[in-house]
Amino acid sequence: MAQAQNRRADPVDERILWELRRDASQTNAALAARVGLSPSATHARVRALRESGALGSAHADVDFAALGLPLQAIVAVKLRAQARPAIKTYAEKVSRLPNVLNLFFLGGQTDFLIHVVTTSPEQLRDFVATRLSMDPAVASTETQIVFDWVRTSARAAGFDDMRGPIG
């Protein structure tokens, strides 16, 4: 994704982003109708949002179980203190592993959360034991099985709801 240029999106840009977050596969004409702009104006705004870095690529929701990959897990990884200077190198290496869907670099006791998908508990065990735990940079791992995933973006009406007070 392009480097964000720290410009605040106006309300129309935010509506476009929200609608694309809700359904990135909609046509430009459908998006234009939802945000109340002409298709050409909508296309120009989407292009500008991409160029600014505010909008990255669209993603598909894939049913991994339907593809023979029914088991998802989140693996917490803590690196050895001596490995911390090479944290970016570790992240790049892990992000290229074939079973890795997402990689989160954290502050706190855990350095990374790694979202993986596998064919079975045995493949998950082997992945964690050989691809993660045996890395000399790793101090410890803890694996949590994902039972289900619920998309939550529809709970808010837009970004202003997300910026508002909690409670």
Question: In the predicted model, is pLDDT for residue 1 greater than 50?
Answer: no
C-alpha to C-alpha distance for 147 and 70, rounded to whole angstroms: 10
Reported as a single tens digit per residue, the pLDDT across 38-96 is: 999 999 999 999 999 999 988 888 899 999 999 999 999 999 998 878 899 999 999 99
The whole-model pTM stands at: 0.78
Neighbouring-strand partners of residue 104? 113
C-alpha to C-alpha distance for 120 and 150, rounded to whole angstroms: 21
Residues 6 or more apart whose CB falls under 8 angstroms from that of 121 comprise 71
C-alpha to C-alpha distance for 31 and 58, rounded to whole angstroms: 14
Is residue 131 within 8 Å of residue 98, measured between CB atoms?
no
Q: What pLDDT shows up at residue 155?
A: 64
Is residue 58 within 8 Å of residue 25, measured between CB atoms?
yes
Q: How many angstroms separate the Cα of 106 from the Cα of each of 9, 62, 93, 113, 140?
A: 27, 25, 17, 7, 15
Question: In the predicted model, is pLDDT for residue 29 greater than 50?
Answer: yes
Question: In the predicted model, is pLDDT for residue 3 greater than 50?
Answer: no
